[in-house]
Amino acid sequence: MHWRFLEGGELSYSRSISWCKCCTAYPRVVRSSKEVVDLPGLGPKLFKMIDEFLKDGEIKEARRAINSPRFGVLSLFSTIYGIGPSTARRLYDQGNRTFEDLERYYNEWERKNGKPSGMREALVLRDDLAQKIPRAEVEEMVEAICKHLDSIQEGFQHTMCGGYRRGKEYSNDVDIVFSRPGIDPKQDRGMCQALVTRLQEAGLVTHVMLLSSFTSQHSPFSRFSTSSQGIDTLDTALTVFKFHGEGRVHRRLDLIFAPWNVYWTAVVGWTGSTQFERDLRIWAKQERGMKFDCSGITRVHNSEQVFVHSEEEVFQVLGLPWIDPTMRNANA
């Protein structure tokens, strides 16, 4: 699956792979693709691969790809914070093969564009950021961050999202969604920036990779522009966090500030998993005629926004039964 992801074919296979993972809870051992012919998302090519794996214990196409030099380079590049599969492929196609090549590339990019890319820092921190974060440290980070937020403005509610909320023992990063119940979003304009600045002054946030501030655009009557993760429409800071002290390492920290009227859609959107969110958006569009993302729920036919008052209500509006966060690891 990873080689498909790196080569850009992940979307066409991800839902199928998710269904195949259901076989871990299948009541019997699968001995032929004919036994899973009724699973949604599977086609002739997948059936052929299933039979090949059952017969030979491997899939030749996957083995060839994994052993290729290109796969090794793409895998290497994709370990860097901020480099996804498409960027990794573009960098490879431009002749980059090593981390040293990337350092030269981004040095030149910054010289030409006259602004920092953030990638040089990501390269320097790559070993730290590749380490998983245990649950206890996630909780320690959130406690420290909330204390600093309270010192700026009390009354914020928060939810720890991402892999932590889905019950993972270890997380790749820490995602926190904040909101102040019942407060006009204009009153909290700039709060994301203020918290980042406070954490920088405390020496806890060492790098800021992205900082977007669009709170002023939010109102119950505006239609939000959307993106796959709500970054363009919610006040968001993608940062690097590090506690003081020997043995501490840099951690990825995402801070998201949402207006109260879209807080619960933001919580659902940032909880994940990636595949679960994709399927949720597809369901909303195809089955309910709605557009769903972190920034809200909108009826497609008239652009009317639907506001909810709880996470459970998000699922009710979308015509789905409640799904506990621990059951949303669709691509885990």
Could you give the CA distance from residue 184 to residue 256 in angstroms, rounded to a whole number?
17
CATH topology classification for 272-327: Beta Polymerase; domain 3 (3.30.210)
Q: Look-up: residue for tokens 């006040």?
A: 235
Residue (of 242, 255, 249) closest to 212 by Cα position: 255
Among residues 202, 209, 212, the alpha carbon closest in space to that of 242 is found at 202
Residues 237, 225: Cα–Cα separation, whole Å: 18
Query: Around 286, how many Cα atoms within 13 Å sit in the side-chain half-sphere?
Result: 6
Q: List the domain boundaries for the chain.
A: 2-127, 133-268, 272-327
pLDDT at 229: 47
106 CB-contact burial (10 Å; exposed 0-12 / middle 13-18 / buried 19+):
buried
Question: Which pLDDT score is estimated for 126?
Answer: 94
DSSP code of 223? P
- Grouping H, G, I as helix, E, B as strand and the rest as coil, residue 313 is helix
Tokens of 110: 């910054």
Residue 264 has a CB neighbour count (10 Å cut-off) of 23
pTM (2 decimals)? 0.81
> Per-residue pLDDT for 275 more than 70?
yes
Greater confidence (188 vs 225) lies with 188
* Contact (CB, 8 A) for 158 and 256: no
CATH superfamily of 133-268: Beta Polymerase, domain 2 (3.30.460.10)
> Looking at residue 93, what is its pLDDT?
95
pLDDT for 10 equals 54
Distance of alpha carbon 212 from alpha carbon 204, whole angstroms: 20
Query: Do the Cβ atoms of 305 and 297 come closer than 8 Å?
Result: yes
Mean pLDDT of the region 176-181: 97
- Beta-carbon contacts of 65 under 8 Å, excluding residues fewer than 6 positions away, are 3, 7, 71
- Tokens 């010289």 sit at which residue? 111
User: 45 near 36, Cβ under 8 Å?
Assistant: no
CATH topology match: 133-268 vs 272-327: no
**pLDDT for 300:** 95
Residue with tokens 């309270």: 150
pLDDT in tens, 81-128: 989 888 999 999 999 999 999 999 999 999 999 988 888 889 999 999
The yes-or-no verdict on residue 26 having pLDDT over 70 is no
